Amino acid sequence: MNSFNTLLFHPLKNDAGILLPDKFTFPFYYEPHPLSFLAANDLQKYLETQTDFDHNFGLNPNQAGLVIGKMFGVMVVKNAHEQIGYLAAFSGKLADSNDIKGFVPTVYNTLNEVGFYKKGEAELNLINGELETLEHADELQIAIQNVREAKQTYETELKAFKTEIKIQKQHRKQQREVAKTNLDTLVFKKFSEELDAQSITYQIRLKHLKRQWEEVIKDLEEALNVLLMPINDLKDYRANLSASLQKRIHEQYQFLNAKGETKHLLDVFKNTTSPIPPAGSGECAAPKLFQYAYQNNLQPIAMAEFWWGASPKSEVRKHQQFYPSCRSKCEPILGFMMQGLNVDDNPIEQSISYAPDLEIIYEDDYLLLINKPHEFLSVPGKTSNESVFTKMKSYLPNATGPLLVHRLDMSTSGLLLVAKISIIHKQLQKQFIERSVKKRYVALLDGILQDTEGNVNLPLRVDLDNRPQQLVCYLHGKQAITNYKVIAIENQKTRIYFYPITGRTHQLRVHAAHNQGLITPIVGDDLYGTKANRLHLHAESLTFTHPITKKELTIICKAPF
């Protein structure tokens, strides 16, 4: 038996004498501590050679079964004997099980065959089977068809009769006009009354037709409702049972924190924007790691999570790469579980400032272009007011309008167009909307790109579980198109020009990193690649028509990398 799965506390060899961190890892934005690297490396060696479970990660093309990559987590901990080791966990299920030797258990095991969830699930399955039988019964299908055919026949007859009424009305109008010319007053009056009577007759017939068919349809619908009643009652019972079962499950997820306090899942999410916990909440690796550490008096030291296996179709996930904990499910849970721990500060909430004046590349009486620094906001954020917009408000106190014509991601540097007058802003923004503005970005990709030029067309939408990251989504995503051209290969990296046709959030970053895109992330991309000193993406050139002179302007600001 492999030594890994004989323990849950895996001793960690620290031959290099790596110092313990002063604070625990902030799990939503971090660089793995060296001890976390050691732990992850040890776990990955096990995953490469293990024969303890059978799961298709998509790394072996000859392996059968559905390909499911998996997020794994390691937590470096210290036991009561001051020994350093690590705990291992996986998100969700592994090999269709919650219980894999060597990995910490789930907070609550929904797969327990004798537990209430499995019993409730079995009852729901029985109800579903009964509903399927009732809904496919011949008597019900005939009743549904009778109502459908009656409504169709009624609609056809009603349409035909209304057409006849319209034709007869036109005919009577023509008769009245001829008679008015050819008949004397008394005779015309009598004839006109006869035409009015015909009109009334048609209206009576129309009412009778409607009443007759409404009664027929009502009788058929009542017969159908008699058959639907037990189905609807059963669906109501299923809904109540499912809600009760879900509530009871949520209450079983009892999370601990470093203070020894306990909260169940509903209480954790109670005061969030989504008080109903998302599906899978509590099943990620991080909550499992914290729970086991607290239950066994192990002191959390550091943590890291990595992806193992083939990338999913929508997200950017690279084999063996580290990623932060998910936001929608884990942020409320870990926010509670980390109470009492000394945790690294959230870098996202730290004040963003840029003391120097922004570099102005071009300016006239109507507009200007500045060189936005990397890691600086275009507009004020939730936790920081410092931005290009606020600096421009100070620089142009008499300007009117929204000022910024477009935006750049915080991590991206380069040209930003600013309008001094409201009407100029409107005219420039129209050019962006009509896509007549030509944009060129320069980037450094973390690898060698084989194609020298081409096009990426991958629709994007926000990852609702992990904002602000984006997903490739062909169902709900917005069109996102990028042209590109390789400039040079430098030290096993590719310098490239990007020409975005659309302007979606993180478009260039996702198109570069995604496995359906260039499969080569931008150097320093801390969301879709590997963090470095900065994101190597720069808005280098902007071409547009000046609203006043009507001349085409091309402004260039060379990349600082």
Between strands 552-556 and 460-462, the pairing is: unpaired
Is there a catalytic annotation at residue 22? Answer: no
21: buried, middle or exposed (CB in 10 Å: 19+, 13-18, 0-12)? middle
Q: In the chain, what is the greatest distance between 2 CA atoms, to the nearest angstrom?
A: 122
Q: Name beta bridge partners: 499.
A: 483
Tokens 């359906």 -> residue: 516
Q: Name beta bridge partners: 359.
A: 371
Q: Are 287 and 296 in contact (CB under 8 A)?
A: no
Q: Determine the distance from the C-alpha atom of residue 546 to the mean position of all C-alpha atoms in its chain, rounded to a whole number.
A: 38
Distance CA 146, CA 397 (A): 73
Report phi then psi at 132, rounded to 5: -60, -40
Identify which of 396, 522, 505 has the alpha carbon closest to the alpha carbon of residue 449.
Answer: 522
Q: Determine the distance from the C-alpha atom of residue 303 to the mean position of all C-alpha atoms in its chain, rounded to a whole number.
A: 25
Report angle CA 94, 98, 103 to the nearest 5 degrees.
80
Q: Are 423 and 402 in contact (CB under 8 A)?
A: no
One-letter amino acid identity for 175? Q
> Which region, left, alpha or beta, applies to residue 532 given φ > 0 means left and ψ of -120 to 50 means alpha?
beta
Catalytic residue among 409, 446, 463, 525: 409
Between strands 453-457 and 481-490, the pairing is: antiparallel
- Write the DSSP string, 474-540: TTTPBP-EEEEEEEEEETTEEEEEEEESS--TTHHHHHHHSTTTTS-PBTT-TTTS---SS--EEEE
Q: Which residues, at least 6 apart from 383, have a Cβ–Cβ distance to it below 8 Å?
A: 348, 349, 351
Residue 353 tokens, joined: 């400032």
Q: Are 428 and 417 in contact (CB under 8 A)?
A: yes
Distance CA 190, CA 179 (A): 11
Residue 329 tokens, joined: 């499910």
Burial 515-552 (b: 16+ CB within 10 A, else e): eebbbbbbbbbbbbbeeeebbbbbbbbbebeebeeeee
Distance CA 17, CA 392 (A): 50
One-letter amino acid identity for 267? D
Residues marked active site are found at 409
